[in-house]
Amino acid sequence: MDYFPLIVTDQDKMIVQMIRQFVEREIMPVRDKLDDDTDHVIIREILGKLADLGVFAVQPRDEAAGEGAQGPSLVTSCVVLEELSRGDAGLGVVAAVNGWALAPAVQGGNKEVLELFQSMAQERSTTLACFAMTEPAGGCDIENLPSLHGRTIKTRAVIDGDEWVINGAKTFPSSAGVASLYCVVCTTDPEAGDDGIALIYVPEDTKGLSFGKFEVKAGMQADRNADIYFDDVRVPKSYRASGPGEDTQYFKSNLTIGRVASAAAAVGCARGTFDEVLKYTGDRVAEGKPIREHSIAAGMLAEMATGIETARAHYLQVAYMLSHPDQFEPAYSEKMLSHASMSKNYATEMAIMVTNKAMELMGSYGYIRDYHVEKYWRDVKEIQLWLGGAQLGRFDVVRGYYPYHKA
């Protein structure tokens, strides 16, 4: 499972090795305790150590700049997320969401927002950002841009002098209630469609910003989710990522990048599962020989290995394409959203298959926390469900080939 295609550079491999060592040293020994760490005592300690590695300080890269772009490529970010997810997908998500939330400011060249976040990072070692998108009423409608063009966005931003005034609510965003800076998907005019979409940054201490309780989930304890409420929240006009039209492109790009990153996280969970089941079936004896020496078990392991390698190959190909928009289409195009949606759907279904088959091979031990497979099983299901789920993902796949239900 250490093979990487040629699109992963030697520098990427060095970074992966560093993260792999961190996962083995800091995450694996406490992995079974993370989902019970409701007060985030262990989780905060691990996040602090990740911050010391520079995971949260890395500037997100503007993929639209092509070969001249600064910062880590999407390929680099995805292989790091895969490695972290092999340890704990929730920790991987927390790390990945920072770059995701700041990407619109980078692409829009909004130095004021980036400098604001950098000043926040000087005040605390682990400084988080949040991309606030989904809403209580519409669910994945907000991500269904090809059909709905942002017309169902309820969080409203209006200009009052030199400020934006925001009212509305968001649900499920990662790092809600613990982030220092929030990138909020708003509409300035629901009738304006794409031109009405605005991405506006809100600092954590802004008056009128409040949060609900942390959600109690089946897993992913490291990734905090809570409702966010905006009650006449005021921020400077300059805190908008860019302007009409451009913000929509950045939003579409984030949907695409989020899906290919989800594929990387799912592959990480599947790899962790495969490590567990390979060891178990090598140690456990049935009818006088290790389980994996039985042909039916060997066939199941072969299916698992094949799924992992093919899912990895596809997500890396898509990440490479997204990192080279000069050679392929931009991330906001429906063609690239189609490719990224394929990656997410295939990788999550593969990972669910891998965890299911691992449990079958391990019997009741696969359901026990000591063996960790049940954790991967819970986490990959959540990865499948977010960002519109598998069904919206399928719609976006076919939209890369024909105009399915365009408004």
pLDDT at position 71? 56
Q: What is the pLDDT of residue 320?
A: 94
Q: Are 215 and 226 in contact (CB under 8 A)?
A: yes
- Averaged over 381-393, what is the pLDDT? 95
Mean pLDDT of 181-203: 96
Which band of pLDDT confidence, cut at 50, 70 and 90, is reported for residue 370?
A: confident
pLDDT tens digits, one per residue of 84-124: 999 999 999 999 999 999 999 999 999 999 999 999 988 87
Amino acid 2: pLDDT: 56
Architecture of domain 247-399: Up-down Bundle (1.20)
Nearest CA among 93, 193, 202 for reference residue 150: 193
222 — phi, psi (to 5°)? -65, -25
> What value does the mean pLDDT of the chain take?
92
Which pLDDT value is given to residue 138? 82
Tell whether the model's pLDDT for residue 4 goes beyond 80.
Answer: no
Q: What was the pLDDT predicted at 59?
A: 57
The CATH superfamily of 10-121 is: Acyl-CoA dehydrogenase/oxidase, N-terminal domain (1.10.540.10)
d(CA 349, CA 342): 11
Pairing of strands 226-236, 197-203: unpaired
Residue range 32-68, pLDDT digits in tens: 999 999 999 999 999 999 999 888 764 544 555 544 4
Handedness of CA 225, 230, 236, 238 (dihedral sign): positive
pLDDT band at 288 (very low <50, low <70, confident <90, very high): very high
For helices 246-283 and 89-107, angle between their N-to-C axes, nearest 10 degrees: 160
pTM of the prediction? 0.94
- Residue 57 token pair: 């300080």
Backbone Cα Rg of the chain: 21
pLDDT beyond 80 at 6: no
- pLDDT category at 214 given cuts 50, 70, 90 is very high
What's the average model confidence in pLDDT over 359-383? Answer: 94
Q: Check pLDDT > 90 for residue 197.
A: yes
Return the pLDDT at 225: 97
pLDDT score at 332: 95
Q: 169: buried, middle or exposed (CB in 10 Å: 19+, 13-18, 0-12)?
A: middle
Give me the helices (H) in 122-228, please.
Answer: 145-148
The string of DSSP codes covering 188-212 is S-GGGGGGGEEEEEEETT-TTEEEE
Q: Which pLDDT does position 371 carry in this prediction?
A: 87
Residues forming beta bridges with residue 286, ordered by sequence position? 289
Task: Tell me the percentage of the chain whose pLDDT exceeds 90.
Answer: 83
DSSP-derived 3-state class of residue 138? coil
Model pLDDT, residue 407: 47
Residue 303 structure tokens = 């299916």
Q: Is residue 6 classed as helix, strand or coil in its secondary structure?
A: coil
pLDDT of residue 68: 44
pLDDT reading at 175 higher than 80: yes
Where does the pLDDT of residue 319 fall: very low under 50, low under 70, confident under 90, or very high at 90 and above?
very high
Which sequence spans correspond to the domains of the chain? 10-121, 129-239, 247-399
Contact 27, 42 (CB under 8 A): no
CATH class entry, domain 129-239: mainly beta
